[in-house]
Amino acid sequence: MDAGPYIDMTSVMRDPESGAYNVAFLRNMYKGPRKLGLHMSPRHNWQIVRAHEARDEPTPVAIVVSHHPAFFIGALNVAPFGVDDYALIGGMFERPLRLTPSVTWGDRFMIPADADLVLEGHVLPNVREVEGPFGEFPGTYGPQRVRWVVELTAMAQRRDALYQDVFVGHPDNWVMGSFPKEGSIYNRIKGVVPGVRAVHLPTSAVGRFHCYISIDKRVDGESKQAALIALGACDFVKHVIVVDSDIDPFREEDVMWAVATRVQADEDVDIIKNVKGATLDPSQRDDIMGAKMIIDATRPVKRPFEARIQVPADAIDRVPLERVVPPDQLRRIT
């Protein structure tokens, strides 16, 4: 633990009302042998600590340092509050997550049996201390903030434990956060806009702030509705771009081509003010609220719209490319 001042690890807490376990990546600052700082955004674990603090009670927390990757991906979903994340992570393993009683609370608080290292402790009720500054997920250094404090009570460790680390503000941090969210958002859109094809939270926007959605649009206006669902589903999402199914939302330049050739900003861009955003977003002027933007880059269904150029396959086949370009230099043009 004295390797450095800052780790961003999965913290497990338990909703006192429903008993559901909630697992989330929270930031811990090294403050002493048995003391950690704790930063949370106002999401599920924050709700749990809030409920404990209302009764002036400490909140049990188990910090899971290393585990199978499926554990962490499960932790990064955007499941509704009240869903037991242990159950959901089990879905990732396709069998129940193996649990074991904690050192501190016994079977009143179970911890993952296969973790390499688990720190147990309590979030002290209504105590705040200065935390940070650290590099943060948007790829920026945040300011110091006044945040919670964890007092450690025990540590459970496997022999030869591995120490996994995610490099905050870099692609491994971003990708790990984005793809569980992509799945959740996709599922929500699918139920309302059946023609949805794919949802992508690109690395360029740190896997969180931009959401590119491709749909096979069947009636006009479905595109904006898909965008509203994405904004509603995940408060990290700030800018949504909706494209037609001929555009690959995983290729940013394809998405930008659609923005360039299919958008008239006075009709296709909508801005919504004062929505809950991400506390760590450096652009927010308010602590928690910000503006959201929708860009509908789909073609209208009802009026004709110019099709994309495609060289016919047989025309391509008739050109013996290998005769004009040395084979080791062949690269397909977009």
Interacting residues with a second copy between 306 and 325 (CB under 8 A): 306-309
C-alpha angle 138-240-136 in degrees, rounded to nearest 5: 5
- Interacting stretch for a second copy, rule CB under 8 A, among 27-35, 56-64, 104-112, 292-300? 292-300
Q: Cβ 220 to a second copy, closest distance in Å?
A: 5
The residue among 119 and 229 lying less far from a second copy, judged by its C-beta, is 229
Position among 5, 128, 140, 250 found at the interface with a second copy (CB under 8 A)? 140
The residue among 56 and 306 lying less far from a second copy, judged by its C-beta, is 306
Position among 1, 79, 99, 154 found at the interface with a second copy (CB under 8 A)? 79
Q: What is the DSSP string of 126-191?
A: T--EEE---EETTTEEPPPEEEEEEEEEEEEE-TT-------TTSHHHHHHHHHHHHHHHHHHHHH
Q: Does 142 bind a second copy (CB under 8 A)?
A: yes
Position among 282, 316, 319, 321 found at the interface with a second copy (CB under 8 A)? 282
Position among 54, 305, 321, 325 found at the interface with a second copy (CB under 8 A)? 305
Size, binding site for a second copy by CB under 8 A: 99
Q: Does 252 bind a second copy (CB under 8 A)?
A: yes
Is-contact 173 167, C-beta < 8 A? yes
The alpha carbon of 5 is separated from its chain's Cα centroid by a whole number of angstroms, namely 24
Is-contact 81 44, C-beta < 8 A? yes
Q: Cβ 155 to a second copy, closest distance in Å?
A: 28
Contact characters 173-212, a second copy, x per CB under 8 A: --------------xx-xxx-x-------xxxxx-xxx--
Q: Using a CB cutoff of 8 Å and minimum separation of 24, what contacts does 3-6 make?
A: 3/163, 4/30, 5/29, 5/30, 5/134, 6/30, 6/134, 6/168
What does the alpha-carbon distance between residue 120 and residue 13 come to, in Å, rounded to a whole number?
A: 10
